[in-house]
Amino acid sequence: MQSSAKRIAIFASGTGSNARNIMAYFSTREDVRVALLVCNKPDAPVLRIAHDFSIPTLIIDRSDVQEGNTPLLHALTHTYAIDFILLAGFLWKIPATLVAQFPKRMVNIHPSLLPLHGGKGMYGMRVHEAVCAAAERESGITIHYVNEHYDEGAVIFQARCPVSPDDSPGEVARKVQELEHRFFPRVIDAVMHGQPVSAEYLPSHQSRPA
Ligand code: GRF
């Protein structure tokens, strides 16, 4: 059973709360294994999390994501036999050759309701500040396939949270992170198994899957 497990690589370079959540979610599973953490910051806290879960880590630099470079692609497809890539707080653009190698097998999570507040430079607290500056009445998460443009791949799933005029960006971040932790692993689980992203994951007031 173990040898036929689907193998995930998580790309993350930040705090790693989503990476931790996904590692914990799949840690007792035989059909899915988090097999690699790819990170571009040698001092990122997420590396410690991977070590705690005994997951191998790969530190990359800019040359690894330059179009046409093959060592990262080779490591993913051959050395680690990766089936599925999750971006969870990874800010560099993924080269088209790598995207092409993982069609419908590379997924990102973004902390807003795309297409709102996405694109290059929109990450972390900048997203929530933009939500507050635009006086949005709701925000949420978008889980989407990755293509060669920032935050533009096909949407798989969105979930919403209310934003009140009194909310600070930090408060919006807290609500959004709660959604990320609640839904990201389960949505990935369904996608990896070719199952529809079930409405059972959604409270009745929230958006239905795409
Ligand atoms: C999350 O908000 C995710 O949506 C975005 O990057 C952030 C990563 O947070 N892509 P963490 O490092 O998992 O806490």
From the list 59, 55, 1, 45, the residue with the least C-alpha distance to 23 is: 55
In eight-state DSSP terms, residue 158 is E
Position 199 confidence tier, pLDDT thresholds 50, 70, 90: low
**Ligand 1 mutation pick, 180, 181, 184, 187, max ligand atoms within 8 A of CB:** 180
Q: Is 46 exposed, middle or buried (0-12, 13-18, 19+ CB in 10 A)?
A: buried
pLDDT, residue 210, reads 46
DSSP 130-146: HHHHTT-SEEEEEEEE-
23 pocket-lining for ligand 1 (C-beta < 6 Å): no
> 30-50: per-residue pLDDT in tens?
999 999 999 999 999 999 999
Residue 135, number of CB atoms within 10 A of its CB: 8
CA 39 to chain centre: 13
Whole-number percent of the chain with pLDDT over 70: 92
- Cβ atoms of 86 and 9 closer than 8 Å: yes
Whole-number percent of the chain with pLDDT over 90: 85
Nearest CA to ligand 1 atom 14: 17
Separation CA 195–CA 210 (nearest Å): 13
> 118-145: per-residue pLDDT in tens?
998 999 999 999 999 999 999 999 999 9
User: What is the average pLDDT score of the chain?
Assistant: 92
Position 1 confidence tier, pLDDT thresholds 50, 70, 90: very low
> 37-88: per-residue pLDDT in tens?
999 999 999 999 999 999 999 999 999 999 888 899 999 999 999 999 999 9
15 pocket-lining for ligand 1 (C-beta < 6 Å): yes
Sign of the alpha-carbon torsion through 104, 108, 112, 115: negative
Sign of the alpha-carbon torsion through 45, 47, 51, 52: positive
Sign of the alpha-carbon torsion through 149, 161, 90, 197: negative
> 168-182: per-residue pLDDT in tens?
999 999 999 999 999
**Ligand 1 mutation pick, 109, 117, 181, max ligand atoms within 8 A of CB:** 109
Q: Is 110 a catalytic residue?
A: yes
Nearest CA to ligand 1 atom 5: 89
Residue type, 50: A
